[in-house]
Structure 1
Amino acid sequence: MGFGSVEPSSVMYDFLEKSSGCAVIDGGLATELERQGADLNDPLWSAKCLLSSPELIRRVHLDYLEAGADILITASYQATIQGFETKGLTREASEALLQRSVKIALDARNIYYERCKDCTTDDTGNGKFFKTRPILVAASVGSYGAYLADGSEYSGQYGDAVNVETLKDFHRRRVQVLAGSGADLIAFETTPNKLEAQAYAQLLEEEDINIPAWFSFNSKDGVNVVSGDSWPECVAIADSCEKVVAVGINCTPPRFIHGLIVSAKKVTTKPILIYPNSGETYDADRKEWVESTRVSDQDFVSYVSKWHEIGASLIGGCCRTTPNTIRGITRALREESAFKA
């Protein structure tokens, strides 16, 4: 789906209309790469696989498509030009890796379409959804804190020296490259504070960045974003930006999602997206997830119909969710649609 002269908002509304009003976002990428054997103990995190094992990224994308995902998010969350240059790569090589992240997802979509072109049913009986359907590729942009790899993406505390101009300068070239890579939209993910949302919104107004986007924030209390900034104020920033076609929450425990959807609906008429994590808390010092708070796939999926009912129209999973989670979300939404019909 191109942007061009099309109204940004129509890109998402048209997609949702073709998806029966609700679409499924994929699940955790980095944590699924780890589950399948990748060692991501590196400041590049999932972007490390762009260098070492791009075929594994493609395999995970395909797993999510076969589970029913309608939107693939690329492996560029922690892929920054600055981060690659720290590893000794040239600017040109760094930009090529950003483009590779999108190409891998586009290739996975093409392979999936080729596999299912002769299929006529939604469900083969083994849990795989092969029906040809609209699929979007969202180029992921992680926060400045993700690049720092010090846990500040979960606090939003960047210090007094970082301002809107600092963040725009940091993100600009990466966003330009991803905007021209063939992706359908940009996913600004795990945004921890209002400052970075303002920087994103201003970047999207620049003439050489011509692509729709979504803004997704994270919360640790179900009231504010993780920095303590007002959640409604962050939603309002997204709402005021013409090129933002959806706004919501990711990498947040499922128990907080209901209230966040309700408060967002008071501020915006844009589609609401939610892709929570598994409920586990990330310990940035120990670089590990605290499993004691994990929500089972069954419990996670039990929330889905209510989230949709109160206003979420794009639903998926973030860290520590798996293709099985996405398969459950897909089935829940299909059963709900069939019941209403």
Structure 2
Amino acid sequence: MITGGNYMQNPLGNLLDQQQYLVNDGAMGTELEKHGVDTNNALWSAMALLKNPEAVIAVHRSYFEAGANIATTDSYQANPQAFAKLGLTEQQSDDLIRQTVQLASAARDEYLANLTTVQRFSQARNLLIAGSVGPYGTFLADGSEYTGAYDLTADAYQDFHWRRMALLERAGADLFALETMPNFAEIKALCALLKDEFPEMTAWVSLSIGTNQDKLADGTPLADVVEFLNDQRQVVALGINCTSMNNVTSALRVISAHTAKPIIVYPNNGDIYDPTDKSWQVNPEAATFSDLVPEWVANGARIVGGCCRTTPADVAEIKQALFK
């Protein structure tokens, strides 16, 4: 492993010093499917890196155009181990992971190029690229990112995550997005890895919660996880993602009672997911972001976006709800 320097940059914190709220982007896989990318496989949205990288640029750009401040790279399920199972060489795998940052950066450049000079100067400082790091459960591709039902040593977790994180950092990601994290032991290992190997980088940690909104998916009390993250200097925001919109407010009340750090939430769009067959059922009775974002803000959220099944239209709706 390679150890960096000692200066920690905090671009997310700097932006939050300037704006009360930030808008995160929305689903990658949902939009890629509209571009003809088959995501029903072990690589999920990362398949687009092999089949249609231009579609990844288009999706990122659509979220910037909808008002997102943050592009989350298409690396959630893009890990060296998954690429190796497909028969890719280490060099090919490394190139694909670096490419996830390059594609987000290209989308940002394309978006900025269509603005006026004054708009470009203002917006360029307000657009960040977060290097997505999914949990070990995504490699298993069995839905365990929603249960945390796996058990590795701390060293094994770190060995799994290190190379992807190193490639994202070197490619120019502004920060890490440690997403859909369901397993407390893995979270602890990742925070130690962040401290020891990436001292110049910051991260947000968004948690995977179960049907009980006061617990991590693996059953750990949510308050305990938040208290631990409070002590992690490089964790500059924390919250939840990839859960029902109806779970957010209850979880926020627990999180906000135990932290002063910025809180990020980006739930699914309200449709119902079956992790056993990876299918979605439309929920016609789901609430809207317009309905719920004010409630989330009132309970401490400062960064709001969307996860599975959300669209650029949803992100535009989130922005309007945040700044009306």
Give the TM-score range, shorter chain.
Answer: over 0.9
Distance 2:89 2:16 in 1: 40
Once the 2 structures are TM-superposed, how far is the Cα of residue 4 of structure 1 from its aligned partner?
A: 7.3
Which stretches of structure 1, 4 residues or more, deviate above 6 A after TM superposition?
none
Indicate how the Cα distance of structure 1 residues 5 and 169 shifts in structure 2: closer, same or farther if over 3 A, else same: closer
Deviations 1:14-50 (A, max 9, x none): 21122x2100000111122123322112111111101
Distance 2:248 2:206 in 1: 13
Q: Counterpart of 1:34?
A: 33
8 Å contact from structure 1 (residues 278, 294) kept in 2: no
Correspondence 1:149 to 2:141:
yes
Q: Counterpart of 1:292?
A: 283
SS of 2:230's equivalent in the other structure is: helix
Q: Counterpart of 2:110?
A: 111
Counterpart code for 2:312? P
Counterpart code for 2:17? E
Q: Counterpart of 1:15?
A: 15
- TM-score w.r.t. the length of structure 2 is 0.93
Correspondence 1:199 to 2:181:
no
8 Å contact from structure 1 (residues 116, 132) kept in 2: no
Correspondence 1:314 to 2:303:
yes
Q: Counterpart of 1:339?
A: none
Distance 1:284 1:237 in 2: 29
Q: Counterpart of 1:218?
A: 208
Correspondence 1:331 to 2:320:
yes
Correspondence 1:272 to 2:263:
yes
- 1:127-138 paired onto structure 2 within 5 Å: 134-138=126-130
8 Å contact from structure 2 (residues 145, 181) kept in 1: yes
Q: Counterpart of 2:242?
A: 251
Once the 2 structures are TM-superposed, how far is the Cα of residue 62 of structure 1 from its aligned partner?
A: 0.7
Q: Name the count of aligned residue pairs.
A: 319
SS of 1:137's equivalent in the other structure is: strand
SS of 2:171's equivalent in the other structure is: coil
8 Å contact from structure 2 (residues 5, 199) kept in 1: no
Counterpart code for 1:199? A
Distance 1:285 1:250 in 2: 19
Aligned CA RMSD, in angstroms, stands at 2.0
Distance 1:62 1:117 in 2: 16
Once the 2 structures are TM-superposed, how far is the Cα of residue 120 of structure 1 from its aligned partner?
A: 5.3
SS of 1:225's equivalent in the other structure is: coil
8 Å contact from structure 1 (residues 248, 274) kept in 2: yes
Distance 1:144 1:294 in 2: 33
Indicate how the Cα distance of structure 1 residues 4 and 32 shifts in structure 2: closer, same or farther if over 3 A, else same: farther
Distance 1:96 1:253 in 2: 34
Indicate how the Cα distance of structure 1 residues 315 and 234 shifts in structure 2: closer, same or farther if over 3 A, else same: same
Once the 2 structures are TM-superposed, how far is the Cα of residue 209 of structure 1 from its aligned partner?
A: 5.3
- 1:166-245 paired onto structure 2 within 5 Å: 166-208=156-198, 210-221=200-211, 222-245=213-236
Indicate how the Cα distance of structure 1 residues 306 and 98 shifts in structure 2: closer, same or farther if over 3 A, else same: same
Runs of 5+ unmatched residues, structure 1: 122-129, 336-341
Indicate how the Cα distance of structure 1 residues 48 and 64 shifts in structure 2: closer, same or farther if over 3 A, else same: same
SS of 1:89's equivalent in the other structure is: coil
- TM-score w.r.t. the length of structure 1 is 0.88
8 Å contact from structure 1 (residues 145, 156) kept in 2: yes
8 Å contact from structure 1 (residues 175, 209) kept in 2: no
Indicate how the Cα distance of structure 1 residues 118 and 311 shifts in structure 2: closer, same or farther if over 3 A, else same: same
Distance 1:233 1:320 in 2: 30
Q: Counterpart of 2:93?
A: 94
- The correspondence for 2:253, drawn from 259, 262, 266, is 262
Once the 2 structures are TM-superposed, how far is the Cα of residue 211 of structure 1 from its aligned partner?
A: 1.1
Distance 1:191 1:138 in 2: 16
Indicate how the Cα distance of structure 1 residues 6 and 314 shifts in structure 2: closer, same or farther if over 3 A, else same: farther
